[in-house]
A and B are shown apart, each in its own frame.
Chain A
Amino acid sequence: MSFSVTEPTKGTKWFAGILVVAYACITLVPLLWIVATGFKSPVDSIAYPPVVVFEPTLEGYVNLFTDRTRATEDMLEAAGPPTTWYDEIARERGTVISGPSRYGQRFLNSVIIGFGSTALCMILGTMAAYAFSRFKVPLKDDLLFFILSTRMMPPIAVAIPIFLMFRNLGLNDTHLGMILLYTAVNLSLSVWLLKGFIDEIPVEYEEAALIDGYTRFQAFYKVVLPQAATGIASTAIFCLIFAWNEYAFAVLLTSGTAQTAPPFIPTIIGTSGKDWPAVAAGATIFLVPVMVFTILLRKHLLRGITFGAVRK
């Protein structure tokens, strides 16, 4: 039996296309459901059978970003007519807005901690990976295995010791603490992934730069880093997604100042009845940064920038 590479026929192309579209639809349904629920009224959100066509409202988003109090007739009269569109939405439910909710703050925490740990992870990871890839490091294989081994158990298995350590070090509920924690968890992944990418870059590029009169460090950031951009971008996405979505440590180690969005979103359910549209709105907004980040780096993920520059 022989195998050969042939151009796909029109039929196989269509078949593959339909398969991909079908798969995309299946994976996108829950996502679309969340986005849609964010624009439903509370009644529509729990309607059975579920409503697909509904009148969109921003109530969920208003509820997400504001704290409201149930108002009596007197209070409503005293407050006068609603001045803004979101006031109006709140009034329709017989409530008045008493101030902004904590979601914005929690979201900002997620951004600081997620991107902060990703940045730190990339800086440390790139340098470590470069050293492992290029230099003679004593006990290199053992060290690499040790780094990998930190990944071999679920991080949450060490939650209690970390909790105690954080308490003693005063890192509980701090941005710095969470950044360090997520960096520590992600570093093994980033070192291994990046080492793979840097190993692929021929060492001649750096040697050429050394000969051309550049120092080792200049060669690293002027020649190696641009070559490793693809690897750095994809590794950064992995790191960000982990840090961004992490729930267990966030619940355990943050409660106020440094609380991230994942542990906060479920608390919306409990504060004023089962407000599913607000939860869905929170989840939708929470998706945006990772999506934007991935789209921004997508060109690096796809572009083989070293293609053809070295003859193998």
Chain B
Amino acid sequence: MKTLINKERPLVFCPGCSHEKVVHALDKALVNMGIDGSEVVIVSDIGCSGLFDTFFNTHALHGLHGRALTYAVGVKMARPDLKVIVTMGDGGLGIGGAHFISTIRKNIDLTLLVLNNFNYGMTGGQASSTSPQGAVLGSSFLNKIDNPIDPCLLAQGAGGQYINRLSCYQNDLSIQLEEAINFKGFSMLDIMGICTGRYTKSNKIFPKDIDGLIKKMPKFAGISSTPDSSNSVNEYTERYFEESKKQKSKDKSQIIKNSIPKNFDKLFSGRKEVILLGGAGQRIITAGEILALAGMTSGLEVTQKSDYPITVLRGHSVTEVVLQDREINYSGIESPDIIIAISEQGVYRRSDLFKNLSDQTVVIKSKDLEINGLNSADSKIINIDFKEMKIKSTDRALGALASLSAMGSIIDLNMLKKVIEFKFKEKAKIIDSSMEIINKVVH
């Protein structure tokens, strides 16, 4: 008779252990399906259910406790053609609860056998996620005060499409397993059995008690009998690769988008440091990038580093740009050549800058912005009256860049305009409005 049982690895379960029934039923199901061992991967968890992979002549992946489903998803995503069967106990179910829920949510074509014997058998019969409150276990009183999980209800809550509750002892176990394996999607089987090594030491339980238990619990029978259409989804790998085909290839464009040719000669030698101080939504980081790219059009090396709160729509937005005629090593700014200040949040964030301002520093600021400690005797201040020019808050960073460009010491207006045309090349409206802002500031 054909079998996928590995004859070199005899079963090592305790006498009377119900896991043995599942091994034989699984073998019968796979043989009946006519599939070869090389088309099957058994991914097993830790504990007695973790022995399953060794008993079969199939591919095997035995991993960490509670994590079997994660390896199974990796295998299935890489090789959707393989039959992937996962075995875990009620222990692994508890440990990997998040994986259980999330994998069911995907409806990925895996078959999960939860070998539910109500305790951690291998470590000495401690309480697990499914231990009844009345059981006497190796965890003293603790299981009396925990509610057991019903794996089927949990799977249902996660949107499970195929859920069944079985007894290790039922005659049609292999037929039920075959049906679950054949289901195109995630199938979850809660297979109840008896741990003779530990559980039955202090708890009387017989095969007929399992039948009684199943009768008392909510009924499941494979494919969800009342399919909730809003919850019903096609199999994950199919959907994944279908959606993938619709995605535009972006790798090359991601890298090339910022590739900018050298068009101009450098305006300075050495290093220049520019810091832009603004607030959320003022396009500070975009302005910093434009400045950096403008520098690159004259063959400069540049760096840009930004600082903003994780709540991105509120608070400061600060960006630091270093421009240098040779490779930049250190990207920090100690004494900026230019400070662009257009909102008090940014100024407040970097108030340290204004305490020891060098007399070389040029401050380009919004006219209405008060800056504590800024002394016009110590530094050159350029005030821009954005209100008078009717330049909106979101456009002021660009306006300040125009003013910087007009100075011609770091970048000039040709460089600035070149970069705007380059960066927004398919967005004529943005280019037009940007040029308008530049012309307002630089008459």
A, B bound: no
